[in-house]
Structure 1
């Protein structure tokens, strides 16, 4: 069973690890066979499962339901679960919602934001609830950003992101996710903190990689993000199957062939 201790060991050893989103039992079992290290029950389910145009409509009930589906079917992976939009603004509500997801089977609670999360991170850590803080392009703030854009390109923005990363780790965050930030900045953050850092559109120098499962199976609707690779139709997937795609993703991340230069931002 993968634990936070496992991921910390991987970071110290320089061993890359994998994460995929997952929402149901059958795919969880396939990921188990491929030995995917971490599974994220992401609020991306609002788009790929529910058909919304953003993650904002997703509820705590939705995440708890899908987390329980995964927990019943998972034996290998560390399970991360998203607290959805506006579910952790007020501390008592954040605590209650975190308890709900942990009791559904999550091992780590993922939240989006920066140093403003420090009090919540510390409170949850003291209560035995590890957090993963999502920095960079945080989809729940899409209306603030004015769309899905690369973050941290200016010197000021890069400095703030690095400061935020150090602050939340200092407050007790157990993991970080960096989304759509320049590869050099992601490398700097990864080297500056002691906790495991997962990247998506953040270059190859983070400790782990995450993709939305539907994207890496070529099931993307509309524009395909730059950081996505279709592992299902990849010629190296000799099984020509979903299980083969998961296994190839695991192999590619571990050996360092994914992400490649074309998947990152400068």
Structure 2
């Protein structure tokens, strides 16, 4: 039986074998990714866009995040399940942040949580004191996209790049066991990775991080609204789904499905008795 990975296990991989992380939002997807060997499964607030159809990540609620985290946690046997803290679940004070994180762990079954930005160090410290492992996130932080002026690469100037280094170091000091670096120049990600003693997980941050994460719908070709530059699509399951559904609908309309092999038989004596009962019903 596989031993479930823990936050300390992930932290110990710093500088070792690269960490492979993917998002998951439901039981069958999580089951497949866990069996494929994912080190971590992130129940991301990207749920809002790729599953629930919202235009950004701001609309997903804590209740929805708990609901989907439960499903993923039921499937994970080896992968560390990380629950994303959604918008306004941790920005309104330390107590609210700890309670929100606690729900993802206690109700959702997550074994760690993630929050965006370095402006919530007291919240991170309080969660860690409560026994909740925390993953940080710097660079492009989608929950703050309005203030950032859109989905833009962060740290492109010397000053903003240096700020990202300071933010990553502050998150480590606050107790984070790892940090996501999103949409930052590769050279910046390399310098952050060299200066923190916890793993960095890149998404659009180049090859020098300790691990990588992508949204599973992007990996599988299931999200068509847009494809970020940093995404590599490993399959086009959206096209396969359309083709399969199209064949099904054609066969239904042509009367080709269901065929005899898709139905259930009846004992001949029972069928004869049934027809007799029908005759009685008609006669009566």
- Which range, TM-score by smaller chain? 0.7 to 0.9
User: TM-score by structure 1 length?
Assistant: 0.85
**Post-superposition, which runs of at least 4 consecutive aligned residues in structure 1 deviate over 2 A?**
none
1:36-47 matches, within 5 Å, as 36-47=38-49
**Contact 2:11 2:178 (C-alpha < 8 Å) held by counterparts:** no
Q: What is the CA deviation profile of residues 150-204 of structure 1, one whole-angstrom value per residue up to 9, with x for unaligned ones? A: 0000011001110011111111111100000000100111111111110000001
Structure 1 residue 233, shift from structure 2 partner: 5.1
Show the counterpart of 1:81: 83
Secondary structure (helix, strand or coil) at the match of 2:120 reads: helix
1:234-245 matches, within 5 Å, as none
Show the counterpart of 2:100: 97
In structure 1, distance between residues paired with 2:47 and 2:170: 29
Structure 1 residue 6, shift from structure 2 partner: 2.3
Cα-Cα RMSD: 1.6
1:98-137 matches, within 5 Å, as 98-103=101-106, 104-114=108-118, 116-137=119-140
Show the counterpart of 1:11: 14
* Worse overlay, 88-97 or 62-71: 88-97
Question: Are residues 165 and 78 of structure 1, via their aligned partners in 2, closer, same or farther at CA, if it must alter by over 3 Å?
Answer: same
Structure 1 residue 73, shift from structure 2 partner: 1.1
Q: 1:200 aligns with which of 191, 198, 203?
A: 203
In structure 1, distance between residues paired with 2:42 and 2:175: 20
* Worse overlay, 19-28 or 215-224: 215-224
Q: What is the CA deviation profile of residues 182-230 of structure 1, one whole-angstrom value per residue up to 9, with x for unaligned ones? A: 0010011111111111000000110110000000001232331111111
Q: Quick check: which has more Rg, 1 or 2?
A: 2
What are the ranges of 5 or more consecutive residues in structure 1 without an aligned counterpart? 235-239, 241-266
Q: What is the CA deviation profile of residues 36-89 of structure 1, one whole-angstrom value per residue up to 9, with x for unaligned ones? A: 110000000100111000000010001100010011111010011111011101
Question: Are residues 56 and 233 of structure 1, via their aligned partners in 2, closer, same or farther at CA, if it must alter by over 3 Å?
Answer: closer
What are the ranges of 5 or more consecutive residues in structure 2 without an aligned counterpart? 241-284
Secondary structure (helix, strand or coil) at the match of 1:109 reads: strand
In structure 1, distance between residues paired with 2:12 and 2:133: 17
User: TM-score by structure 2 length?
Assistant: 0.80
In structure 2, distance between residues paired with 1:228 and 1:133: 21
In structure 2, distance between residues paired with 1:45 and 1:132: 18
